[in-house]
Structure 1
Amino acid sequence: MAVQLGYYTLSVRDLDRAAAFYGALFGWEFKREHETYLHVTNTTVPMGFTATGPSSQPNLYYHVDDIDAAVDRVRELGGTTGEVMDSKSGRGCACTDDQGTELSLWEPAPGFA
């Protein structure tokens, strides 16, 4: 199975300021999931904002059908993984490949694929 980009996040300092800026710039609409996360509700590729500070690039999550199997496969191939995290949008995991390149995996919850 070919894996595609499934979700991405932008890290910002202030979620309200980000919503005002990107809402005015792109017409994005938001739903606050919790105090450190905003989900963008009107984009084709699912995305959101995290309040973890500014970043020079987005965090890309690759859509997988089975996060547990994908995490096991990363480890089998010599990569490393963090803990699988659960959220309203699904299950995700930060990983590194066998050369230290960071990537994230995402198994969408029903209604988020």
Structure 2
Amino acid sequence: MSTRGKESQIDNIEFNVLEIARSKAFYGAAFGWTFTDYGPDYTEFTDGRLTGGFTVGEPVRPGGALVILYSDDLVRAQRSIEAAGGSISRAVFSFPGGRRFHFIDPDGYELAVWSADADSGQ
């Protein structure tokens, strides 16, 4: 796992999953994440900025903190998620400074994808 984090900043996110291969296939296809395997029960993922892990051996615990991903193109992101086997749980909505939608991954975790409003300067 990463040791480059700064005090009090998110440095890693870990998902308990049923099948590492399925999770790698989903997140690789939907977002282009890359992976480093550390034995049969753990793989590290990176999106190019943040790292985390998929692990088996613990119960899947959908819920918890909402992990929010960024995309310049919400329509493309939604299509990629659905094509990879995810489902949309909350349609695109606006909030101050941007828009986002929520989705459910194959293990039942709810995540979100947001994009800045063109007029917000974000």
User: What TM-score comes out, normalization by structure 1 length?
Assistant: 0.46
TM-score by length of 2: 0.43
